[in-house]
Amino acid sequence: MRALVSGASSGIGEAFARALRARGERLVLVARRTDRLARLSAELGGADVALPLTLDLARAESAESLQRMLESRGIGVSLLVNNAGVGYAGRVHEQPPEKLRAMLDLDVRAVVELTRAFLPAMIERGRGAVLNVVSMAAFPSARATSPPSSSRSRAPPTPGSAARRRPRRRRWSRPRSPRSTGERSW
Ligand SMILES: NC(=O)c1ccc[n+]([C@@H]2O[C@H](COP(=O)([O-])OP(=O)(O)OC[C@H]3O[C@@H](n4cnc5c(N)ncnc54)[C@H](OP(=O)(O)O)[C@@H]3O)[C@@H](O)[C@H]2O)c1
């Protein structure tokens, strides 16, 4: 059984991978940058414990092909960390449609399809978890970050996720206006 971390080649995903490995988890590291994944895998103990897989999750059927790759190696997934994501700053009507499509494919479709691919086996085993990394950008609907706002607020809570298993009452309050409308990387 392994923890699968999408977007493990940098940032939060890489930090998740390091933290999970430090807890003894065996990993599957997924992202597009082969060199960075290979470096991280070597640092964490090699493919036996941290298998690097180069994959563009924004491409159609990437979840199914990942599922097939893992099945062919006899690897099951006990924790799915849906972390890979992008967020482009700017007004939605000024963005090139293909850029918006790529963002939605990664931030929404891949999250749903990876969950669809790996959750059934977790349910069957009676164990497992799905962790979706999202963004505060889902809440304010700021004009300057409107594409990520909408993509993040549409990433659905997944049945079987930790949040779902231990429901908490959430208090929603009106978000404050952001002080800056400058470019953000997410
Ligand atoms: N940092 C923040 O302040 C912040 C705030 C809110 C939300 N978030 C969210 O947190 C997550 C991680 O963000 P981060 O700050 O750690 O960003 P990051 O350093 O840019 O990491 C993004 C990761 O996603 C991977 N990725 C991007 N496109 C991909 C694709 N098409 N297929 C597969 N992997 C892909 C990248 O790897 P490759 O380029 O190698 O593919 C990278 O490993 C994202 O979902 C982001 O939206 C971050």
Which residue has a Cα nearest atom 3 of ligand 1? 186
Where does 50-173 have alpha helices with state H? 62-72, 97-104, 110-125, 146-154, 162-165
Task: Name which of 55-64, 109-118, 134-143 the model is least confident about.
Answer: 134-143
**Within 13 Å, how many C-alpha atoms sit on residue 16's CB side?**
24
Per-residue pLDDT tens over the stretch 41-52: 999 999 999 999
Which pairing describes strands 2-6 and 27-31: parallel, antiparallel, or unpaired? parallel
Helix, strand or coil for residue 132?
strand
Q: Identity (one letter) of the amino acid at 89? A: A
| pTM for the whole structure | 0.83
Sketch out the chain's domains with CATH numbers: 2-152 (3.40.50.720)
Q: How many whole angstroms from 45 Cα to the centroid of ligand 1?
A: 23
Which residue has a Cα nearest atom 23 of ligand 1? 7
